[in-house]
Structures are given as C-alpha cells and as structure tokens.
Amino acid sequence: MDDTKQYNEHARAVDGEAQLQTLVDNAPVVLSALDDDGVVLLSEGRGLDALGLEPGELVGDSVFDRYDDVPTVVRNARRALAGDSFTATEEVEGISFESIYRPVFGQRGTVEWVARVSVDVTDRRQYEETLAALHGSTLALVDAETKSEVAERIVDAATDVLDLTGVVLFLFDETTNCLEPVAVSPDVESFVGEPPTYRPGTSITWDVFAEGESRVYGDVRESEFVDNPDTRVRSGLYIPLGSHGVLVAISAERDAFGEETTDLVTLFATNAEVALDRVDYEEMLRTRDDELQTQNDQLTRLNELNGTIRELVQRLIRADTREEIERAVCERLTTVDRYGLAWVGDADVVREELVPRTWAGGDHSYLDSVDRSLTPEGGSTEPACVAASRRELVAVDNVAEGLRDDPWRKEALSRDYQSVLAVPLVYEGFLYGVLTVYAARLNAFDETTSAVLSELGETIGYAINTVETRRGVLTDGTLELDIRLSETDDLLARVARSVPCRLGLEGIVPETDTAVLFVTVTDADVEEVRAAFEELVSVSAVRVVAEHDDEGLLEVVTSGETLPGTLTRHGAVPKSVTTTDDGLRALVHVAYDTDVRAFLAMLREKYPDVELVARRDRERSLDPGQGFAAELDRRLTDRQAEVLKTAYCGGFFESPRESTGEELGASLGITQPTFNHHLRAGQRKLFDQLYDGEGRRLDE
C-alpha cells in the first residue's frame, strides 16, 4: 500500500514537470533566474524565439554585461537584487516584455537569487498604440467642418495609422442616389485607376451600403456582387458608415485583412460615422439659422414694403389725375433703400413701343439706352416690355444671367441694377401700363414681395380707371366715337341673329357681379325675343317691361360680358348701342383727352373686330344744367343712382306704370320697401338740388 502511494506521488510529480515543461515550451514567456551577482542561472521559454535565442543560451552570462545597452533591464535587475518585488515593462531588441521580478531571500535575509518571468506583450502594446493613434485621429475629426474634409481625414488615418492600402471613402449623394468616391488614398489610382461612382445595382460597395453590414473578403471574386470579375483586387474590407456611405480598403494580396485589423477599422468607422453625423447636424443648424435669418430679413422688408403700400394706397385714394397716381407710386417706391429705379410705361400701339410716362430714383438714362419695342414679332426682352406683351408679372432674380443674350442686361448692370420686377397695371382687361422696379441686390423680389407688388399693380389699375372715369364725367369736352363691331358674339348681337329683329340699348345699370340692361325690341315678337334671351346661360332674368304694337322694352339681368358693360367700366358713356345686319353699331362718349388708340386696343382685347367709323368732338355747354348733373351725381349714393336710373329706364314714371317697385327691386336684388326707400331718398336729393336746398331734409 505504501509502495502504491509512493508510486502515485512520483507519477504526479513526473506529470507536473511534463506539464510545466510543455507550458514553458509553448507559452510566449521567458523564465529566467539570476544569482546574487546578476549571472543568469536559468533561461527558458518560447518567448526566447522572438529574441532569436535558444533555451539556456544565456546561462552563465552576466545580465549587466549582456544588456549594458538596455538601461531598463540593468536598472530592473539591480532593483530586484536589492530586494524589491515589482512588475516592469521592458523593450529588448524591438520586443516589448512585461516582466515580473521576485527576489528569493536566504536564512540571513539576504537575496540569494532572483526569479524573472517575462511575457511578450509586443502585439498588445502595438494594439494599444494603434488605439491611441486612432483616438488622436478621431479627435482630428472633431474640427472638420464639411463631409469632404471628414472623408479626407478618415482616409489619412486609415492609411497612416491602420496601415491600410487602397482606401476609398464613398459618400451617398441624395441628389443622384449614387455613392460618390470623395476621398482616395494615393495608391488607388496606380492600382485600379479612378474609382467609379456606384449606382443602385450590383456591386459589393452598394450592397454593403444598402444592407448596412460589413463585409470582409479574402478574395472579392468569390462575392456574387463583384462588379468586375477580372479585377486585380483580391482582399476587400467594406465598412458601412450609416446613411453616409462606405469605407473601402482593398489589396492585391489574399486574406490581407485579419480579425484584429477588421476590429480596429470597424471601431474607427464608428467614430467616423459619428463625425459625419455631427457635420450633418451642424449643417442642418446652419441651414436653419440661414433660413431663419432670411425669413427675418424678408419679414423686415415685407413690413417696410407694407408700410409703403399703405401710405401709397392713401395717396392713390386722394389722387385726382393719372399723372399724380403714377408719380406718387414711383417716388414712394424709390424711397425704399433696396429699389434704385421705378418707372411706369404706356404701351403705344401706333409706335409699337413702351413709352415712359413717369420715373423716379436712380439713373433714368437707362430708359433711353434700352430697346422698348413691342412689335408683334416679339419685341424687346426688357422685363417691362415682356410684361406689357404678356400682361403678366415678370421677375428677373439675377440680371447677370444671360448677359450676352439680352443687351438690356448690360445696361442694367452698369447702373448696379441686379434684379427686376415688372408688374402690368391691368383693370377689367385694360392695360393702363407697366410698373417696373429695379433693385441693387440679387433676388430682391421673392414670392411674397412679388405678390404684394402684384396686388399693388391691381390697385394702381383700379385707381387710374377711377380717375379716368371721373374725368370722363366732369370734363367740359367729350369725344364721340362711332364704332362698329362685325361678326361679334356680344349678347345683343347673338339674340338679334337668333330672332331676326332690331335691338337697341335704352339704358344700363351696372351692378357688382351683374348688369341690368334695358333693351328696346323692334320688328319682332317681344315674347319670342324674351325667350331667346332666357336661353342664354349668362342671363339670369328677363322681364317684359312694356309692349306697344311692334315695339317692346325688355329688362335683362346678365352676369356675362357685354359691350355696354365694358364701356361703362372704363369711363365711357354708351349713348346708343344698336344691332345691325352684321353686328353692332355704338356711339360712345369718352373724355376729350382720351387716348383713342389705347381705348380701341382695350376693346379689341375682347372684341377683335372693333372698327372706328368716325370720331367727333362734342363740346359740353356751360349752362347750369351741366353743373347741376355733376353736383347731383356727387350727392347721390351709388345705390340711389342705380334705383333712379332703373326706375326711369324701366318705365316706373310712365302713366300708367310699365314696371312696379317690386319688379324693379327684384332686378336689383333688393326688396320693394328697400327700392322705395332709395327711390324717395334719391328724389328728395334731386328736388333739393333743383330748388337750391329749399326744404332740405337734414336727416338724409
């Protein structure tokens, strides 16, 4: 039994020595021992291979002599022989060791020998150094301001720190949906040429980007997504950078990218993605700040412009002449700092050019230096002329664009006009001219500003129409225009063709959205003519006011465009409008100084076949009746004037009455009591004016 126990103990001892020897032979360590003089007593371990030494080769050598050129080893040996136990890092012949020194003491307490265990930590130290270098490279990404700059620094770090070859960083371009090579290491071009742009489809790079998963290939030809089977590339490392792109490293050698390298590149790619996220976020903030600043600037300018418009509207309301309106607009707009020149041009159909009427601001010699023609073949490309021809707003954000194509641009730029807005002044289809404004900065007329100035153009057109109409009523002299319309589709002509008859305008009462026409019927059955009017979509009501033998009077309520309505809206007085065998004949009174050519051009916008048969001067007599009519017109409200005229034309004052108050009120869209109220109020003002204020009612 004792023999068995002794045998087992011996066997275990043998096994332990064998295991220890196996560990020493295979572990990357160096086991050594020094006597009290520093002479090597033991030198074993696989770690000696890194130093090119055989086991036991150092035995008998003095550590101080052997490593006199390695101060750390000499210093550590002396320290251990002095009795210290410690761990130290040593570098011997380019190999890094982590060494544990343990002194062994004798009975007298003195160091008899020193045990030393050294572990080769070269790979770990290199890894740590690489991590530190990557950390530094990551910090370098922090101050990069653009994606391109970040990309360049990523490629630099991948080649300098990670020692990668063939590095390309692709960034995704949202405008083209492609991966663009943004940064490339110097060796790529000589290896594979210029990197391609990858569109959605079959390529390893695009697949990695789309899937968001890294790929490592010992031979890229083994991938189903390889875009060039004959490529010189063998190894490939593809790391996605989120939604930004892909970091690619390639090599002509197989299996060039090990696990440790892949881990380091992946770690660095994560930091690179964060840097790209930061750039995106900062760009978004800058864009938002720019947008907010732009909006604030636009709001400031809009508030300023609105203040100018409000002031202008007040001046337009008080203006008595067209010249006063145009001058006020040009002068007030050019007091705004950003507008250098403003002018109003009138389309002269005879001279076929846009003629300046009023201007204010900077160097108006520009108006003489540019072509302002309005020829049917196209005319000038100057914005004001284009707006006049098209009758629509024209904005030029940058005058310098197309500088060599349009001569007016050179003239504008020489006067520091950078952008232009031309607004047609149109009211009820009639072009009263074009307002054109020039600014000393680019993009001065954004969408909101253009909309505001477009509305101003409509207001100016209305104001000009108002003063022109007022002038037509108050002027002492008039022009009588005898005009003919052949083959017209006007309301009266259409009915006269449908039912052969002769129709004549007895009177018109214009409303906001409709007009009430009183039409005489000759040589036809009145009921048949009434039925023909009722069939028209634009006619909402027809009533027979009176009928005598072969003549009759109809009241026609229409929402359609009519020649009498068009004339009335533009300050003209239709003295008579009658149907003829081929159309209409009208005698029209307009203000004495009316531009007849422009007036006819306005009519031709709706009635292309208008022909001027004759033009006659009609001097108004200066008898009291003229002043009486003007003063009465001033005193009557619009509704009172409408009611009086409707009653007169509708036969209300005939005996017996041809229309009742209820019928006439219905044509005006009001009740009989309301009609009677306005009628009595109008009559009182008529008699008050007739009798020079005798018995005037103060409550009216």
The mean pLDDT values, 10 residues at a time, for the chain of 700 residues are 55 56 69 90 85 87 89 91 90 85 89 89 68 61 75 79 82 89 87 87 87 89 85 89 89 85 79 81 82 73 72 79 88 81 85 88 87 80 91 93 88 92 86 91 86 87 80 63 86 88 85 82 88 90 81 87 84 86 88 79 84 75 52 69 73 73 75 74 70 43
- Does this model's pTM top 0.75? no
For residue 240, the model assigns a pLDDT of 92
3-class SS of residue 37: coil
* Residue where the block lists tokens 């003239």: 411
For residue 2, the model assigns a pLDDT of 60
In 319-419, which residue ranges form alpha helices assigned H by DSSP? 322-333, 366-369, 383-390, 407-414
In 360-517, which residue ranges form alpha helices assigned H by DSSP? 366-369, 383-390, 407-414, 447-474, 491-498
Nearest to 164 by CA among 149, 183, 145: 183
- Rounded CA gap, 372 and 510, in Å? 38
For residue 20, the model assigns a pLDDT of 58
- Rounded CA gap, 71 and 684, in Å? 127
Q: What is the 3-state secondary structure (H, E, C) of 30-60?
A: EEEEEECCCEEEEEECHHHHHHCCCCCCCCC
What Rg value do the Cα atoms of the chain yield, rounded? 50
Residue 543's DSSP bridge partners are: 555
For residue 561, the model assigns a pLDDT of 83
Give helix 447-474 / helix 322-333 axis angle, nearest 10°. Answer: 160
φ and ψ of 609, to 5 deg:
-95, 15
- Rounded CA gap, 81 and 102, in Å? 9
Nearest to 475 by CA among 630, 355, 632: 630
For residue 623, the model assigns a pLDDT of 47
Ordered DSSP codes for 495-538 = HHHHTT-EEEEEEEEE-SS-EEEEEEEESS-HHHHHHHHHTSTT
For residue 369, the model assigns a pLDDT of 92
For residue 698, the model assigns a pLDDT of 34
For residue 260, the model assigns a pLDDT of 78
* Residue where the block lists tokens 């990695």: 208
For residue 456, the model assigns a pLDDT of 86
Buried/exposed code over 433-469 (b: 16+ C-beta within 10 A; e: otherwise)? bbbbbbbbeeebbbeebbebbbebbebbbebbbbbbb
Residues in CB range of 186: below 8 A, 6 or more apart: none
In angstroms, how far is the first alpha carbon of the chain from the final one? 146
- Rounded CA gap, 67 and 34, in Å? 13
Nearest to 443 by CA among 286, 298, 283: 298
Residue 21 burial by Cβ neighbours in a 10 Å radius (0-12, 13-18, 19+): exposed
For residue 231, the model assigns a pLDDT of 86
CB 422 within 8 A of CB 434: yes
